[in-house]
Amino acid sequence: MDKYRDSKKIADVLSDFHGEPLITLPDPDSHAMSIRATALVFADPASIRLLEYIERIAPSDATVLIIGETGTGKELVARQVHKLSHRQEGPFIAVNCGAFSESLVESELFGHERGAFTGALSARSGWFEAANGGTLFLDEIGDLPLSAQVKILRVLQEREVVRLGSRTAIPIDVRLVAATNINLAAAVQAGRFREDLYYRLNVAALDLLPLRERPGDILPLVWYFMERYGKRLALASVDLSTDAERALLGYAWPGNIRELENVIHHALLICKNGKVTAADLHLNPDFGMLYGSASLVVGATSSLKSLEHALAALYEQPADNLFDTIEEAIIRTAYEYCESNQVQTGRLLGISRNILRHRLKRYGYLT
C-alpha cells in the first residue's frame, strides 16, 4: 500500500514537472552491490574521516545537515546515511526546495485537503507523509521561505504534520536530512533563515570539502569513472597518460565531482584506443592551478579568476583581520618576487615607496 502510494506520487511529480527534478530515483547502478562498494570513493584522509563520521551518525535518528559546494556529493552522502540507518527498507525521498514557488511549497511538503486553496481539487499527501518510515532529503534548504521554515520546525518538534486546510494532525516517523550549498549561518545573520531551525537541523553536520581540498580523491575518482564509463562505452581497456594525470591533479575543479565525472566521460568518448591524454580533457583554463598549492594561478588570463577563487575560500572561514592578512600576503609576495628591491616592488604594485616602506616595517622586513 505504502509502496503503491510512493510510486504513484513519484509518477505524479515526474509527469507534472518538466524543469529541474524535484525527486530523484535511486541510482540504478547501486542495486546488487554492497554498501561500501556502491559508487563511493573516499580515499583522501579527510574523506576517510568523513566516511567514518557518516557511519557513526547514520544509525541514529539524528537530523543531519550536509554542507558543500555544488557537485561535492551531497545527495550521494544523504543516500548513504539512509542506507546505513535502520530505515533502509523505508522510502528515501529527495526534494529540491529551490524548485517550488513560494505559494506551492507548503502544500508540496505538508499536503493539502480538498478545497484548501483555489485549484486544490482533491486531497493530496505531502512529501513528509510520502517519506513516512524512511528519510526525507530536503535539498537546498536555504531556499525555503520563512513561513515554511516555521512549519518544518513544528513537524520536527511534534513529529506530526497537518495538511493545509485540515485540523487533524497526522503522526509521522521521518528522519530529516537537509543539504545546502550556501552558508546557512550567514543566512541566519541576514535574517533569511530561522536561527531555531538552523540549530535544530545542525545536530549532526557533514561538511563536504570541495574536491580541490581533498586531492587524494582525484585519481581514485578518475579511475572509478574511467572504469564505469569504459564499460558503458564497451572499451576493451582504458588508460591515462602521465600528462593527463598531471593536468587532472593540477585543476581546481570548480564543479567538483560532477565536473570530474563529465570530464572523464567526455574524454573517453573522444580519446583514441581508450588512452586519455591531456588534450582529451578539455578543462576550463580559468581554473588551472599549480599542483600542490591550494588555489594558485597559471596563465595571465586565468590569474584573477583563480585569485578570486582563493579569496572566496578564505571568506568561507574568515580569520580575524582578514583584510590586513590579505594585504600583507600581497606585499610580502611582491617584495620577495622583486628580490627585496623596494623601487621595483612599489612600481609592480603601483604604490608609493613611502607606503611600501611603512608596510614593510610593520611586517618586520625593515627596522
Ligand X SMILES: Nc1ncnc2c1ncn2[C@@H]1O[C@H](COP(=O)(O)OP(=O)(O)OP(=O)(O)O)[C@@H](O)[C@H]1O
Q: Whose Cβ is closer to ligand X: residue 44's or residue 129's?
A: 44
258 binds, among Mg ion, ligand X, none (CB under 5 to 8 A by kind): ligand X
Q: Apex CA 123: angle with CA 120 and CA 129, to 5°?
A: 120
Q: Whose Cβ is closer to Mg ion: residue 180's or residue 345's?
A: 180
Least CB distance to ligand X at residue 20 (A) = 10
Binding mask 70-89 for ligand X (x = CB under 6 A): xxxxxxx-------------
- Give the cell for residue 82: 539512509
Least CB distance to Mg ion at residue 98 (A) = 10
178 binds, among Mg ion, ligand X, none (CB under 5 to 8 A by kind): none
Q: Which of 226, 283, 223 is nearest to 250 (CA)?
A: 283
Q: Whose Cβ is closer to Mg ion: residue 70's or residue 321's?
A: 70
Site for ligand X in 174-193 (CB under 6 A): 181
Least CB distance to Mg ion at residue 71 (A) = 8
Asked if residue 128 lies in contact with residue 161, where contact means CB atoms within 8 angstroms, the answer is yes
Q: Whose Cβ is closer to ligand X: residue 10's or residue 41's?
A: 41
Least CB distance to Mg ion at residue 103 (A) = 24
Is there binding between residue 68 and ligand X (CB under 6 A)?
Answer: yes
- Applying CB under 6 A, among 41, 188, 338, 351 the residue interacting with ligand X is 41
Contacts of the segment 213-216: beta carbons below 8 A, 24+ positions apart: 213/46, 213/294, 213/313, 214/44, 214/46, 214/47, 215/44, 215/249, 216/43, 216/44, 216/45, 216/46, 216/47
> What is the C-alpha end-to-end distance of the chain, expressed in Å?
81
Alpha carbons 210 and 175: distance in angstroms, whole number? 26
Least CB distance to ligand X at residue 78 (A) = 8
Number of residues in contact with ligand X under rule CB under 6 A: 16
Identity at 289, one-letter amino acid code: M
**Three-class SS string for 287-333?**
HECCCCCCCCCCCHHHHHHHHHHHHHHHHHCCCCCHHHHHHHHHHHH
Alpha carbons 95 and 25: distance in angstroms, whole number? 11
Binding mask 44-83 for Mg ion (x = CB under 5 A): -------------------------------x--------
Site for ligand X in 216-245 (CB under 6 A): none
Q: Using CB atoms within 10 Å of the CB of residue 357, give its burial: 0 to 12 exposed, 13 to 18 middle, 19+ buried.
A: middle
Q: Whose Cβ is closer to ligand X: residue 100's or residue 335's?
A: 100
E strand residue ranges, 56-180: 64-68, 92-96, 135-139, 160-162, 169-171, 175-180
Site for ligand X in 258-277 (CB under 6 A): 258, 261
- Applying CB under 6 A, among 218, 257, 267, 271 the residue interacting with ligand X is 257
Q: Which residues contact Mg ion by CB under 5 A?
A: 75
Q: Which residues contact ligand X by CB under 6 A?
A: 39-42, 68, 70-76, 181, 257-258, 261
